[in-house]
Amino acid sequence: MAFNFKKLDIPEVVLVTPDVFNDERGKFMELFKISAFRQCGIEKPFVQVNHSTSARNVLRGLHFQNSPKAQAKLVNVIRGEIFDVAVDLRRESAYYGKWIGAVLSSENRAMLYIPEGFAHGFCVLSEKSEVVYQCSNEYSKEHERGILWSDPRININWPVKTPILSEKDADLPTLEQANLNI
């Protein structure tokens, strides 16, 4: 079993594509193997797995957790298609405030690794989606934060112009207003 690891324009964000084995019975693939990820330099262990279901045009995010509960994530779509986004929140980074996006789907089987220090969000492109993501820290309400999906400073090119948002996500602060302690 193997994975293809492709560093994106923000090199700490990695597109992961697993080998998929097909036969007359169906398909098989590994979603995570610690030894393969460590060989690529991804060292954080995952301690929580989340499952989200959403309808077309739903936008979730941009979410993150402050230190000491910052989370790295490995995002996988098991049904449908999403546009997945990571925003660099590390003030010392040359990529601070920049975003990277990738289409993840149950067809392309691609996954996105998002390290600690990044906000994460996605919008649903298919009729319905199911997203499973592993996290390197457990959820902490005390450390939970977010950034407005439409912050003009970040200027994400979302493929959905009028998304369906939660009340909480619609009221998030901009990057400049956010309480960052990454």
Which of these is catalytic: 51, 133, 139, 143? 133
Cα angle value 171/173/179 (rounded, 5°): 135
Residue 150 DSSP SS3: coil
CA 181 from centroid of its chain's CA atoms: 19
CA atoms within 13 A on the CB side of 144: 10
Q: Has 96 been annotated as catalytic?
A: no
Q: How far apart are CA 87 and CA 102, in angstroms?
A: 12
Contacts of 59 (CB under 8 A, 6+ apart): 121, 122, 123, 124, 149, 158, 160, 163, 164, 165, 169
The DSSP call for residue 111 is E
Contacts of 13 (CB under 8 A, 6+ apart): 7, 86, 100, 112, 113, 114, 115, 118
The DSSP call for residue 39 is H
Q: Has 63 been annotated as catalytic?
A: yes
Which of these is catalytic: 63, 95, 96, 113? 63
Active-site amino acid positions? 63, 133
